[in-house]
Amino acid sequence: MASLSDLRKTPLHSLHISLGARMVPFAGYDMPVQYPEGIIKEHLHTRAQAGLFDVSHMGQATLDGSDPAAALERLTPADIAGLKDGQQRYALLLNDEGGIKDDFMAARLPSERALHLVVNAATKESDFAYIADRLKGIAELKPLPTRALLALQGPAAEDVLVRHDYDVQNLGFMKIGRFRIAGAAAIVSRSGYTGEDGFEISLAANEADHVARALLAEPEVLPVGLGARDSLRLEAGLCLYGHDIDETTSPIEAGLAFSIGKRRKMARDFPASERLMTQLLEGTARKRVGFRVLDKVPAREGAEIVDKTGRVIGRITSGGFGPTIGAPIAMGYVMSEFASDGTELAVMVRGAARPVQVAPMPFVPHRYKRNT
């Protein structure tokens, strides 16, 4: 683990300190895990009104060239060429064996050729190096280290943001455009990591503090740290890279086949396409599933999942308390014959078998605004 002096700071670091945040090392950054209100209140407030998250540690970049979408399709099964102006898409960066190097967002801003990419914080340097190397001479990747990224999430997010730019109400889910938020030029997408309606706001680092303070001044908005960000995404059934998905995981095992474009399935022109299409047609030996924990002890990452005979048939990859549900929940991988909803299993917690039941995800319904 890096020493405190080695940790990088986002442009909002001073604001977090002034708000009384408890800071922790995360992906090489000094990040807020919670504020004085506490994780549960931050979580529930985001579900009820709006939470503001600092996600400036994520990696932002542009990919340009004569046809950047066609170039990027060499590395992902997503339909990037099919992106329309003002549209964003969830995509997977694959290795040559079809394992997931990262999940990311790719967007085509209106009337702009270059694609806008957002990748995970812990993998951004390796992602950017991989993309630049594999697409050398075909497309040019330009990291954007001087940009910040904020996420405003929750059912009141639109009401808050339209006070700063009325036109953001016209953005539907997974749409993107250029706006002015609190006077600052910004790239705004209607997306997020909570299962709630919301926005991600990319802007110059020197504008981040001003914009964040303007949004926090709105009565519906509380600052929210990494703790609630994790519990919100777990309730929403969303994967965390390095935990629920990694280079040993295929998109089919992870339940992410939706990210493979229909045209790409037909063409089979993406990394390890034959292997992944075989998995899609014939099934996989294991599957990612959700779990309801049937007592009060949370099942944490790494815990073994066992059948009624005590045989290990999988492992938990994410787990914790779901504040909206009021009970522990988890997700993980099990042998496919145990993946049906309602299957009763057990998870090993401190040497004891605790009852769990396979449950559909998301645990809390998504509430995205899907207008055109």
Same domain, 294 and 273: no
282 pLDDT above the threshold of 50: yes
DSSP 206-263: HHHHHHHHHHHTSTTEEE--HHHHHHHHHHTT---BTTTB-TT--TTTTT-GGGS-HH
Structural domain count, the chain: 2
* Sole residue written with tokens 């985001």: 46
Of 260, 282, 304, the domain-final residue: 282
Of the three residues 267, 282, 297, the one that is the final residue of a domain is: 282
pLDDT-derived band of residue 153, with 50, 70 and 90 as boundaries?
A: very high
How far is Cα of residue 55 from the mean position of the Cα atoms in its chain? 11
> Could you say which of 233, 260, 282 is where a domain stops?
282
Same domain, 292 and 173: no
pLDDT tier at 1, thresholds 50, 70, 90: very low
> Are 267 and 356 found together in one domain?
no
Examine the domain organization and report whether 273 and 323 are in the same domain: no
* Residue 370 pLDDT: 82
Average pLDDT over residues 346-357: 96
Length of the chain in terms of residues written? 372
Across residues 281-305, what is the average pLDDT? Answer: 96
Distance, in Å, from the CA atom of 141 to the CA atom of 115, rounded to the nearest integer, reads: 9
Q: Determine the pLDDT at residue 5.
A: 73
CATH number, domain of 50, equals 3.30.1360.120
Average pLDDT over residues 332-350: 97
**Same domain as 338, residue 276:** no
| Cα–Cα distance measured from residue 156 to residue 51, given in angstroms and rounded to the nearest whole number | 9
Q: Are residues 114 and 171 in the same domain?
A: yes
Using the predicted structure, report yes or no on whether residue 97 has a pLDDT greater than 60: yes
Q: What is the mean pLDDT of residues 296-310?
A: 96
User: Tell me, what CATH number does 314's domain have?
Assistant: 2.40.30.110
Does the pLDDT at position 2 exceed 90? no
- pLDDT for the residue 199: 98
Q: Percentage of the chain surpassing pLDDT 70? A: 98
Residue 280 DSSP code: H
Q: Would you say residue 154 has pLDDT above 50?
A: yes
Predicted confidence (pLDDT) per residue in 20-58, tens digit: 999 999 999 999 999 999 999 999 999 999 999 999 999
Same domain, 83 and 206: yes
Domain shared by 263 and 332, yes or no:
no
Considering the domain architecture, whether residues 43 and 98 belong to the same structural domain is answered as yes
Question: What is the domain range of residue 307?
Answer: 285-372
| Residues 141 and 15 reside in one and the same domain | yes
- What dihedral angle (degrees, nearest 10) is formed by the CA atoms of 169, 203, 51, 223? -150
Burial of 341 (0-12, 13-18, 19+ CB in 10 A): exposed
